[in-house]
Amino acid sequence: MATTQETPGSRTDRSAVRTLLRLWPYVRPVRARWFTAAAVAVVASCLALVIPLVLKWMVDGPITDRDPAGVWLGALFLFLLGIGEALLFGLRRWLVARPLAGVEASMRAELYRHLQRLPVAFHDRWASGQLLSRGTTDLMLVRMFLAFPLTFLLVNSVTILVGVVIMLVQDVALGLVILVPAVPVMVMCVVFEKRYALVARRAQDQVGDLTTLVEESVLGIRIIKGFGRHRSQARAFREMARTLRGTELHKARLLATIWAVIITLPELAIGAALVLGTVRVADGDLSAGTLVAFLSTALALRWPVDSIGFLLAMSQEAATATERYFEVMDAVPEDREVAKAQEGEAGRGLRFEGVRFRYPDAPEGSPPVLDGVDLHIRPGESMALVGATGSGKTTLTALVPRLYEPTSGRITLDGRDITAMPREELRALVAVAFEEPTLFSASVADNVLMGTAAEAGEPQLERALSVAQAGFAHDLPQGTATQVGEQGLSLSGGQRQRLALARAVVGRPRFLVLDDPLSALDVHTEALVEAALRDVLAETTALIVAHRPSTVLLADRVALLSGGRVAAVGTHHELLRDNAEYAHLMAGTEEAAR
């Protein structure tokens, strides 16, 4: 199972605050509602601190004076304070729910757009499950942080500060007793934050790995069932799930430890203040109302203090999620790369000039896949590309639409360096069909017309299906409106390949790149497709990766790729006569066909 090599799960130098500040551009549009909601929450929380003052007035006043009217008045005040607090907290939730859901949606949409712009080399390195978890689980954690922990870290800090001031005003000695646990609690919070950050990162990376395993198992279910590997896959899943469970339990233990400290020490301090206050009330040094108000304030601060642990935990998880999100967003997209060459004076057609290529993640010192490829395909000409397995044929075709960038050298279309062309323009000129066809969960028509402009319609669709001999589409349950299902696996390999070919030719491209487009077809269907394809090739400049002599014969000339270089160029018959390597390759394919 592939896992990303770019997730720095062991980093210890990350600043959670600095990481979370990167969310500000997304929060800025809703900042007015968020700040209003935070202010409302602060007011609501401070209303709760007024309740102890009302209790003090009631105990030292109406209750001591045996004044029923005063008691009822105090009860009314308490009722109104409770109602006001509840309404304000409800208003806070209403203020932030919709805008923060919008923030999450906009971040998810931006991530998706960015993924579409990232080069293929990026997607080669990253496991799809890791990317999926960043667009789902991680963004959910970010939204939850913005809606709750971020607000209440502010609200609770203000509440604790105001509460401490109220207690010190009531009685300095008792206030100092309550403040004794402050130092050890803060030390524990610092230690907890550092340790929890590492474990939270590990857990979220493991979720991504588990998502990748599930996705690969679903997409490869035919292989798993065909080879009877369901038990080994289940064992792999259980092992990864067990590892994730262990990490989550580690998080729980850390959280339990900080909670034990945060809850126990303040409770002991409240107990000590109760004993000391009771003694002083008995000695007449303190009024009963003041003690009730003091203890009520201390108890009102229990929730803000107790919540520090899980608020810090949620903040660390959000910081980790934000970090993982921006690991993808910081990757340089295709449309921001600087062109390496400007428009040149090379001949027309498709030309490769000294093209070298090594995959970005190839081991240091390894030989390049392509090493000085020079090749010229004249306008309107079809060139077959032939070579042994691993000679770099597919890699060379992927360079034309800039799915990968050459390590050195250049490629030109009609004299224009492709690196000096906007990718949208380049990919409008070049159509591709890969050996492994990919179809999407959409209708047959949508899959085919993806290869042309949005305004293309039925005539273009019918022509493309005719060229690719894909008339079977009309026999499907809803004809060309039939949904083909994920990866098009409801169709045969030959049917998928013909639809992919139809997608490549539907837009009448000026340049056509075909990577062994007929490999999955039977002999009779292949002959029909070749006959129809000749008319298409007469109108375009084409590069065709070929393994069969019948496919080679579609081309005007043939280029033999060997050792990452073009070893020979000529017609099929010339190379059969003059090049032993080419003759050997063609003899092998003919023997395999027989």
Sorted by where each begins, the domain ranges of the chain are: 16-329, 350-587
299 φψ region: left (φ > 0), alpha (ψ -120 to 50), beta (else): alpha
Residue with the larger pLDDT of the pair 365 and 572: 572
Average pLDDT over residues 41-65: 76
| Long-range Cβ contacts of 365-368 (<8 Å, 24+ apart) | 367/564, 368/407, 368/564
Q: Is the pLDDT of residue 222 over 90?
A: no
Listed in sequence order, the residues at least 6 apart from 251 whose beta carbon sits closer than 8 Å to its beta carbon are 196, 199, 200, 203, 313
Query: Is the pLDDT score of 4 beyond 70?
Result: no
**What pLDDT sits at residue 335?**
56
CATH assignment, 16-329? 1.20.1560.10
Two structure tokens written together for 553: 């014969």
pLDDT at 480 over 60: yes
The predicted-structure confidence for 8-26, as pLDDT tens digits, reads as follows: 444 445 678 888 889 999 9
Q: What is the pLDDT of residue 373?
A: 92
pLDDT tens digit string along 401-413?
A: 988 889 899 999 9
CA dist list (Å): 365 to 357, 360, 405: 13, 12, 19
Element containing residue 569 per DSSP (H, E):
strand 565-570
pLDDT of residue 151: 82
pLDDT band with cut points at 50, 70 and 90 for residue 478: confident
Report whether pLDDT(416) > 60.
yes
H helical segments located in 220-306: 221-226, 230-283, 288-300, 302-306
Mean pLDDT computed over 484-491: 73
Q: Which fold has domain 350-587?
A: Rossmann fold (3.40.50)
- The pLDDT value recorded for residue 589 is 56
Encoded tokens for 299: 């108890």
Instruction: Name the residue with higher pLDDT: 57 or 31.
Output: 31
pLDDT at 543: 92
Cα gap 143→107, rounded to integer Å:
10
- Rounded to whole angstroms, the Cα distance separating 261 from 570 reads 81
With beta carbons less than 8 A apart as the criterion, state whether 369 and 121 touch.
Answer: no
Place of tokens 């690196």: 419
243 has a pLDDT exceeding 90 = yes
Burial per residue of 293-307, b for 16 or more beta-carbon CB atoms within 10 angstroms, e otherwise: bbbbbbebbeebbbb
pLDDT score recorded for residue 44: 83
Mean pLDDT of all residues belonging to the chain: 83
At residue 425, φ and ψ (nearest 5 deg) are -70, -45
Cα distance from N-terminal residue to C-terminal residue, the chain: 38
Per-residue pLDDT at 339: 44
Inform me whether the pLDDT recorded for 237 exceeds 70: yes
Range from 47-61, 284-298, 541-555 carrying the lowest mean pLDDT: 47-61
Residue 128 binned pLDDT confidence (cut-offs 50, 70, 90): confident
Handedness of CA 239, 240, 243, 245 (dihedral sign): negative
With a cut of 50, say whether residue 292 has pLDDT above it. Answer: yes
pLDDT in tens, 341-356: 444 444 588 999 999 9
pTM of the predicted model, to two decimals?
0.73
For residue 362, give the 3-state DSSP assignment.
coil
Task: Give the pLDDT confidence of 252-269 residue by residue, as tens digits.
Answer: 999 888 888 888 888 888
* Model pLDDT, residue 444: 87
Q: How much of the chain, in percent, has pLDDT values that exceed 90? A: 15
> Using 50, 70 and 90 to split pLDDT, how confident is the model at 110?
very high
Q: Give the mean pLDDT of 75-81.
A: 79
Taking only Cα atoms into account, the Rg of the chain, rounded to an integer number of angstroms, comes to: 35
- Separation between Cα atoms, residue 292 and residue 297, nearest integer Å: 8
Three-class SS of residue 11? coil
pLDDT digits 0-9 by tens, 497-538: 888 888 888 888 889 998 887 776 777 787 888 888 888 888
Q: Which two tokens stand for residue 129?
A: 């499950």
pLDDT recorded at residue 155: 84
pLDDT, residue 533, reads: 84
